Structure 1
Amino acid sequence: METAWVRRVLVVEDQPAMRVLLCDMLAHRGFEATGAADAAEATTVFAETDPDVLLTDIDLGSRPSGMELATMLTGLAPHLAVVFLSSFPRAAEGAARLGPAGAVFVSKLDVTSADVVVEAVEAALSEAVPPAPTPARTSPLAALTRRQIEVLALVARGWSNAEIARERGTTRAVERSISRVFGRLGLGADPATNPRVRASAMYLAEFGSTS
Structure 2
Amino acid sequence: MTVDTWRRRVLVVEDHALMRSLVVDAFGQRGFEAAGAATAPDALALAGTFDPDLLVTDIDLGSRPNGVELATILRARSPHVAVMFLSNLSREAAAAQERSTVADASFVNKAAVESVEELVDAAEAVLADRPVRREQPGTDARSRLLRLTAAQLETTRLLAAGLSNAEIARRRNVTVRAVEKSVERVFQALGFAGGERTAPRVAAATLYTSTFGDPASGL
TM-score by length of 2: 0.54
| Cα distance, 1:91 vs structure 2 | 2.8
Find the aligned partners of 2:98 and 2:8 in 1 and give their Cα distance. 24
State the match for 2:89 in structure 1: 88
Which residues of structure 2 form unaligned runs of 5+? 131-219
State the match for 1:37 in structure 2: 38
**1:87-139 superposed Cα distances (whole Å, 9 cap, x missing partner):** 111333346852422211111113322332112212221229xxxxxxxxxxx
Find the aligned partners of 1:106 and 1:126 in 2 and give their Cα distance. 16
**3-state SS, counterpart of residue 61 of structure 1:** coil
| Cα distance, 1:26 vs structure 2 | 0.7
Q: Please tell me whether the aligned partners of residues 58 and 86 of structure 2 are also in contact (alpha carbons under 8 angstroms).
A: yes
Find the aligned partners of 2:95 and 2:115 in 1 and give their Cα distance. 24
State the match for 1:51 in structure 2: 52
Letter matched to residue 119 of structure 2: V
State the match for 1:126 in structure 2: 128
Q: State how many pairs are aligned.
A: 128
State the match for 1:10 in structure 2: 11
Rg bigger for which structure?
Answer: 2
Residue 117 in structure 1 maps to residue 119 in structure 2:
yes
**1:34-56 superposed Cα distances (whole Å, 9 cap, x missing partner):** 00000010011101201110000
**1:44-92 superposed Cα distances (whole Å, 9 cap, x missing partner):** 1101201110000000011101000000001110000001011111333
TM-score by length of 1: 0.56
Find the aligned partners of 2:96 and 2:86 in 1 and give their Cα distance. 12
Q: Percent identity?
A: 50
**3-state SS, counterpart of residue 45 of structure 1:** helix
